[in-house]
Structure 1
Amino acid sequence: MSRTNELRMITRVAQMYHLEGLKQSDISEVLRISQASVSRLLKRAEAEGIVRVSIVAPSGTYPDLESAIREKFGISEVIVADCREDNDDAVFSAIGVAAAHLLEQTLEDGDVIGVSSWSATLQQMLDNIHPIKRVRAERVIQLLGGIGVPSAQIHATQLTTRLAHLINGEPQLLPAPCVTGSPESKRILVSDPHVKATVDQFKRVTTAFVGIGAMAPSQNLIYSGNTFTQAELEELARRGAVGDICLRFYTADGEPLAGEIYERVVGMTLEELQAVPRVIGTAGGKRKTASIAGALRGKLIDVLITDRFTAERLSELT
């Protein structure tokens, strides 16, 4: 067959499949060629540039930004939420809506969901989840201690219990403060049967939703008393800390900062977090750009949900 006739046949097959909507079996019958030949010719149509695929991104979606961050940091998935303003309220709301949609679409029967207690974006996620009826999670595990002043404690435990109710799972609370006075008091605390029962379940988490913290603690943590002193935070910064996940601080390269402070936290460690099959990090805003980048470089998360302004800053990092 001459080159021109070969190209004509490829073009005809592509036309029938892509424009006329015929199935490969129908094309095979009409043209009297095998279905295997139809499949081969369709692949040739793309290779020859006869068929070209273009994606027109709808307004409010950012596939190029998502792709840029995936390639820069080697992360499996990035979700960039549409956001009109670069301020905390708008950013947290947009990320929360996107996180709720992801959970609703990807939750599977028997999932064990871990959730950090003090994240504003995860609180927004909770406020945007519709009750899920199609599947039933096994349980929702609180990954970071939530005991503090009474009103703050209610905030932390409600996040876990409400999420469990929405996804048909059992809540498993972590009845402890997230920061203790010393490593010794932490070791005593985690030997309590109720605390130990939850900590022992960390290894069963199939998906973890975690906030990514900046060096300056959130207002929720400050109000609850579950944070470190300014002097301790300054010492962490001198040692290279850029942010935290579950109050476990790490460097710009995502390396955990071991030491006395690390050993005072009651919650999932970064080593335990990395053993979770899917870790979804939710964060955005100017002050969190460095902490998000550190989490990405250290492969501490598998999925990032952020806003478009933060995504642009991340894509421009060298």
Structure 2
Amino acid sequence: MQPPAQAASNSGGTPEDLRLALRAATLYYLDGLTQAEIAAKLGVSRPTAGRLIARAKARGLVRIEVVVPPTMKDDLHADEERLLEERYGLTEAVVTGHLGRAAGALLMRRLSENDVLGFTWGPEQVAAVTALAPGVASCRVVVQLDGAMSTAAYQTGMEFILSRGADMLRASAMRLPAPLYADPSTVTSMRNDSVISRTLETGRRADTMLFGVGSVSTSTTLFEGSFLDTRMLDELVSLGAVGEIGGRFFDANGAPVITELAHRAVSVPLEDIRTCAKTILVCSGPPKHEATRAALLGGLAKLLVCDIDCARWLLEH
């Protein structure tokens, strides 16, 4: 804090005004008194005490420094989180080396007891629900956002996601008994099925959604699970697709890429993801960086959990 005389000359206030502001700021920031206690000590009203503290800060009498403990410098990345929030208009960014644990903690903080919570399938979602703790948070319904049935011997993790999510959050589970893709006539028929249509409509109106992104390559889980083949990938690349959420592909700006797959997908559309109030994107691995950036640019996620390499890449591009 600056000496009162110097502060007075710098800010134009009377010595008595600044002395009182400095005294209030000292009691508040250094001694830990409440505004009510400061008011009683200085003989002023509580609102006046608050104004004195604010005046001291506005006139440069107070300097606040946040210090990261040296032993935690590799785990705390407040600067990168703030820059990501400013750059991409995020509600919150979490940069961490423990994605599953951080995603689970973020979800429990943001979830309301009457929320409908939607999940797509994938390893990031499995890690997030694994980290959920019983009794910390709750919601009304846990719903599946995309079909997961496959003819290949590929484990999507969807049943675990729904079962554990419902158990830990004391919610009911709504399953989507459908493949991710089907021919258009089958999709139309499935949408007329009461169970499938009810689940999709519930997912579209979800209050909170948690998902990962997929890249447009043979390393994506959709290709590994035989949901896509090389012909489909080539077409998607030619049309500018860089990523997908729930089997719905988007370009570098996060805009939907319309192919035959868009008409064959049994999942919540990107437009509904974009309008959801609390969308949590969990990104892991360099192959997903471009898709993550596109999703953020397209407003498909309002909260982000990523590692430091992804954060730096997003800030550099």
User: How far off is 1:300 after superposition?
Assistant: 0.7
Deviations 1:4-53 (A, max 9, x none): 33222221121122222233233323322333322211111101111112
Partner amino acid, structure 1, of 2:103: A
Q: Which residue matches 1:176?
A: 178
Q: Which residue matches 2:238?
A: 238
Structure 2 stretches lacking a partner, 5+ long: 1-7
Cα distance in 2 between the residues matched to 1:45 and 1:97: 40
Deviations 1:41-73 (A, max 9, x none): 111110111111222234211111011111111
Normalising by the residue count of structure 1, what TM-score does the alignment of the two structures yield?
A: 0.88
1:212 and 2:213 aligned: yes
Q: Which residue matches 1:99?
A: 103
User: How far off is 1:134 after superposition?
Assistant: 5.0
Q: Which residue matches 2:5?
A: none
Q: Which residue matches 1:86?
A: none
Secondary structure of the 2:242 match is strand
Cα distance in 1 between the residues matched to 2:228 and 2:240: 16
User: Which residue among 151, 154, 164 is the counterpart of 1:152?
Assistant: 154
Over the aligned positions, Cα root-mean-square deviation in angstroms equals: 2.0
Cα distance in 1 between the residues matched to 2:219 and 2:120: 13
Q: Which residue matches 1:120?
A: 123
Q: Which residue matches 2:90?
A: 75
Mark the CA change 1:15 to 1:154 in structure 2 (over 3 Å): closer, same or farther: closer
Q: How does 1:1-318 map to 2 (within 5 A)?
A: 3-58=14-69, 59=72, 60-81=75-96, 83=97, 94-117=98-121, 119-131=122-134, 133=135, 135-149=137-151, 152=154, 155-180=157-182, 182-216=183-217, 220-225=221-226, 227-317=227-317
Q: Is the 8 A contact 2:145 2:268 kept in 1?
A: yes
Mark the CA change 1:153 to 1:173 in structure 2 (over 3 Å): closer, same or farther: farther
Mark the CA change 1:241 to 1:150 in structure 2 (over 3 Å): closer, same or farther: closer
Cα distance in 1 between the residues matched to 2:219 and 2:304: 20
Cα distance in 2 between the residues matched to 1:290 and 1:308: 15
Deviations 1:244-303 (A, max 9, x none): 111111010111012322111111110121232211111122111110000010001111
Partner amino acid, structure 1, of 2:61: I
Q: Is the 8 A contact 1:146 1:157 kept in 2?
A: no
Secondary structure of the 1:292 match is helix
Structure 1 stretches lacking a partner, 5+ long: 84-93
Query: Share of identical aligned residues, percent?
Result: 29
Q: Is the 8 A contact 2:147 2:266 kept in 1?
A: yes
Q: Is the 8 A contact 1:209 1:280 kept in 2?
A: yes
Cα distance in 2 between the residues matched to 1:243 and 1:219: 9
Q: Is the 8 A contact 1:95 1:306 kept in 2?
A: yes
Deviations 1:140-190 (A, max 9, x none): 11101011148536732222122111111111111011011x322222222
Cα distance in 1 between the residues matched to 2:200 and 2:177: 10
Q: Is the 8 A contact 1:206 1:276 kept in 2?
A: yes
Partner amino acid, structure 1, of 2:214: G
Secondary structure of the 1:201 match is helix
Q: Is the 8 A contact 2:120 2:146 kept in 1?
A: yes
Mark the CA change 1:174 to 1:10 in structure 2 (over 3 Å): closer, same or farther: same
> Would you identify which runs of 4 or more consecutive aligned residues in structure 1 move more than 4 Å?
217-220
Secondary structure of the 2:18 match is helix
Mark the CA change 1:68 to 1:275 in structure 2 (over 3 Å): closer, same or farther: same
Mark the CA change 1:25 to 1:75 in structure 2 (over 3 Å): closer, same or farther: closer
Secondary structure of the 2:157 match is helix
Secondary structure of the 1:146 match is coil
Q: Is the 8 A contact 1:152 1:220 kept in 2?
A: no
Secondary structure of the 1:314 match is helix
Which stretch shows the higher mean deviation, 95-104 or 307-316? Answer: 95-104
Which stretch shows the higher mean deviation, 248-257 or 149-158? Answer: 149-158
